Structure 1
Amino acid sequence: MRGNNTRRVGIVAGSVAAAALALTGCSASPAAEEKPELSDEPVTIGLTWWGGDARAEQTQAAIEAFQDEHPNITVEPQYADWAGYWDQLATTTAAGDMPDVVQMDELYLASYGARGALSDLDQLGFEAQNTEEDALATGQIDGVQYAAPIGVGVYTVFANADLFEKYGVELPDDESWTWDDYAAVSQELTDKSGGEITGSTLIGGWDAGSVKYWARSAGSELFGEGGEVTLDPQSLADMWQFQLDMIADGGMQDAAAIVESQAAGIAGGALATGKVALGVIGYNTQLTALTEASGADIRLLKLPEPEGVDPNFYKPSMFWSVASTSEHPAEAALLVDFLLNSETAADIIKTERGIPANSAIRDYLLSDLSETDQAAVEYQDRVTPGASPVVTPNGASGVEGILQRYTQEVFSGQTEPLAAAEAFVAELQGEIDAAQ
């Protein structure tokens, strides 16, 4: 999953890309009567993704392994960093030249899938093997499988066990604790450290996952099936107010420190630098990166859950999709199958794109994973996710930029929580309506 810095840089670029796609006038491709057949002739297909050099090297190695198994298929790779990827993809889509296989993100899935730019994977004969239905649903729009999840994660509290031990504070029992317990242990950490650290950093307001979690805890959802914003503003206001109270009591970093921590990304944030002992900064799949950056014993704790409610959910790290304009859809689907379901590809890619959604591949890799990756898998097995949230609607890909702006207004005292929550809902709905 992407770091916080990268995500924020990409918000604007991704919104522009989605807008560009909206102007292409893509229409849904007709339903295929028969599954496409593989060709015996030489075939060339394109594969595109975002990521750095390490991902490029691994993906190229996987491509070469695929080509060894299918010598008549040539895969032409291309990649970009997150900020430029979506503009590049929108440009090729508008020109009718989208690469055959594309790496897709949940924020932009509806922008491409609902406008006919992506193929129905079921019609191509692709089978997502050993993948839970709720994980598969993260790549569906109106029941159509436009994307296959590569990896999945679940929301988590990160805890620096070294700091808990240093200041004589017991790690909480995450099977039974409440948010009030979270606030109390955060305050205890601040007090027992004599102010050397603050108990907690941010627990919500910088990413859509936090809003979804608090909304689901209160019986609401961020988005409804029709693509509308169904969030009860009170649940968002309650999340903000809870943190304001913690800040006032000293158990949570102040607004300026939170902004600084978020801007520094996972490797430079308050958890990595030992300024705090607790925080909700993302998903279990980030454990290895945070541990390497901090050098500390970082533990994963379940978020407090209301009794009888499962507010957590599967978050896809990213997807593979096939372009509806592909001239070789059978070969494209075969490549997706290889990348997701083959042990050969798993040996190369491992968990670079997240903990595999394919449970058989996850089990195959488990013994060779690092201790922190194994801990992330074990944590994910402890969590009981609820139903998959509705995919981010077309027009709402800028949700996190909007959320961050209102969060900063609330934390700085410019806007009252409920007023900000109501404004957030109205603005986000306006973005969705404008994209229709």
Structure 2
Amino acid sequence: MRGSAKARLIGAVALSSTLVLAACGSSGGAVERSDEQVTLRVTWWGEETRADLTEKAIEAFEKEYPDITVKGEFKDWDGYWDALATTTAANDSPDVIQMDELYLASYAERGSLLDLGEAGEFLDTSQFDKESLKTGEVDGTRYAMPIGIAVFASVVNADLFEEYGIELPDDATWTWEEYADLADEVAGKSDGKVNGSSVTGGMDTGSVRYWARLDDNELFDKNGDVTLDPKALASMWQYNLDLMESGGVESAAQAVERYNAGLEAGGLATGKVAMGFSYNTQITALREASGADLRLMRLPGSSEANANFFKPSMYWAVSSQSDHPAEAALLADFLVNHKAAGAVLGTERGIPANGKVREAISADLSESDQLAVGYMDSVTPGPSPAVTPKGGSGVEPMLQRYTQEVYAKQTSPEEAARAFIDELQGEIDSAQ
């Protein structure tokens, strides 16, 4: 579970200040199985439900490999990164680490994660889409295995469309102009009781990545530099400003309030907006909270550009400090590849990135999870975006700060776009 923006920034500071002291890890010798009893440590963030499921999966692993004992450790998001940075700096990090995309490059570039290619004998990658595998790469080297994957989606409240006599859109062809027209129509026919859409850009990096990729642009390049075109960012903000003016989307104050309320108390979940954007894997929580017929549709403009992308929910990585990298790789392999683990873990960490595991558990998925899987299978994502570079882990709170200033009309989209890009690049440069 993710914490506050402040917590993320604290984690970034802790990482940069302590991880630099870390030893580079193992000696770089051959990755081979031990002929003795081995004990591993594995760490993850999350709450009790995740812990219970993970412990059950570990028990299944220990039955498969009786010569390996696994000790699980978990914390909530707020304390996880400080603890991981501290243990890594002390050359005592857990053998297997649940990793997030925001911090992958920071740990990989400091030599704290094992190059998984060295453990290829113990870690099968054959059942993963090649683009999903690339989400765990830094500079062409695979350091992490995606546990779950998601893709960006439009969420449409079919009940509200029916209530106000509006036809559902054709998501195979709809454009941003048509999206705006629908948002205005909903607001008009509901006499302002319902906003046509939540804000469609600026509260998360996913919206920025998608908007930029529609113009063949990227937030970051493979070298870790910010390559986002300020014109693309400014136009995304201006699109939403125009819809705020017409009443098609929620106001600036409503956008902030609903975002801070969390997914299950936001505009889509409470029926205050008829459309919005989310990742497909969030549909279950949204439908349960709303009780409405929420549907996943392709994003506006998707017929014109292959701009969608795989987003890893999280990864498993192996510490380069592990005394038992072969056994650690076996544990990671079991957690992402074995149907026994998939049957236990289900979709708690997202829709399984392993296609065979996803297929094996599909019959047991809820209706909403099946919608999420069906949507993902219907979308052809483009190339995986570059991993957030070292120094860029504070990108989302930074983006939200500028977005709120723009929507509150405290600064222009053009000025904010240039300032955001300069500040983000400065953070990255400082971390090198």
Q: Same fold (TM over 0.5)?
A: yes
Alignment of 1:414 onto 2:403: no
Alignment counterpart, residue 404 of structure 1, candidates 400, 404, 415: 400
Contact in 1 for aligned 2:149/2:351 (Cα 8 Å)? yes
Give the SS at the match of 1:273. coil
Q: Number of aligned residue pairs: give it.
A: 430
Which amino acid letter does the alignment assign opposite residue 82 of structure 2? D
Report the Cα offset of residue 30 of structure 1: 6.1
* Structure 1 residue runs without a partner (length 5+): none
In 2, Cα distance between equivalents of 1:307 and 1:370? 29
Alignment counterpart, residue 51 of structure 2, candidates 42, 53, 56: 56
Which amino acid letter does the alignment assign opposite residue 50 of structure 1? W
Give the SS at the match of 1:155. strand
Contact in 1 for aligned 2:309/2:381 (Cα 8 Å)? yes
Partner of 1:370: 366
Q: TM-score normalized by structure 1?
A: 0.96
Report the Cα offset of residue 306 of structure 1: 5.7
Alignment counterpart, residue 332 of structure 1, candidates 328, 331, 344: 328
RMSD of the TM alignment (CA)?
1.4
Contact in 2 for aligned 1:175/1:302 (Cα 8 Å)? yes
In 2, Cα distance between equivalents of 1:270 and 1:320? 33
Partner of 1:170: 167
Partner of 2:223: 226
Which amino acid letter does the alignment assign opposite residue 412 of structure 2? E
In 2, Cα distance between equivalents of 1:121 and 1:194? 57
Partner of 1:140: 137
Pairs within 5 Å for 1:36-435:
36-125=31-120, 126-280=123-277, 282-305=278-301, 307-435=303-431
In 2, Cα distance between equivalents of 1:14 and 1:298? 35
Once the two structures are superposed, what CA deviation does each residue of 1:63-84 show, in whole Å capped at 9, x if it has no partner? 1111111112111111011111
In 2, Cα distance between equivalents of 1:260 and 1:312? 27
Which amino acid letter does the alignment assign opposite residue 416 of structure 1? S
Q: Specify whether residues 8 and 297 from structure 1 end up closer, same or farther in structure 2 by C-alpha distance, changes over 3 A only.
A: farther
Report the Cα offset of residue 231 of structure 1: 0.5
In 1, Cα distance between equivalents of 2:322 and 2:144? 15
Identical positions, percent: 55
Pairs within 5 Å for 1:9-48:
9-27=6-24, 31-32=28-29, 34=30, 36-48=31-43
In 2, Cα distance between equivalents of 1:43 and 1:67? 11
Contact in 2 for aligned 1:206/1:400 (Cα 8 Å)? yes
Contact in 2 for aligned 1:207/1:404 (Cα 8 Å)? yes
Give the SS at the match of 1:168. coil
Report the Cα offset of residue 39 of structure 1: 2.2
In 2, Cα distance between equivalents of 1:237 and 1:218? 13
Give the SS at the match of 1:204. coil
Once the two structures are superposed, what CA deviation does each residue of 1:282-322 show, in whole Å capped at 9, x if it has no partner? 31011101111111111011111265421110000000000
In 2, Cα distance between equivalents of 1:247 and 1:165? 23
Select between 304-313 and 228-237 the one with higher mean Cα deviation. 304-313
Which amino acid letter does the alignment assign opposite residue 48 of structure 1? T
Give the SS at the match of 1:279. strand
In 1, Cα distance between equivalents of 2:27 and 2:48? 38
Which amino acid letter does the alignment assign opposite residue 94 of structure 2? P
Give the SS at the match of 1:107. helix
In 2, Cα distance between equivalents of 1:135 and 1:188? 38
Which amino acid letter does the alignment assign opposite residue 376 of structure 1? A
In 1, Cα distance between equivalents of 2:347 and 2:431? 35
Contact in 2 for aligned 1:11/1:400 (Cα 8 Å)? no
In 1, Cα distance between equivalents of 2:203 and 2:8? 12
In 1, Cα distance between equivalents of 2:113 and 2:146? 14
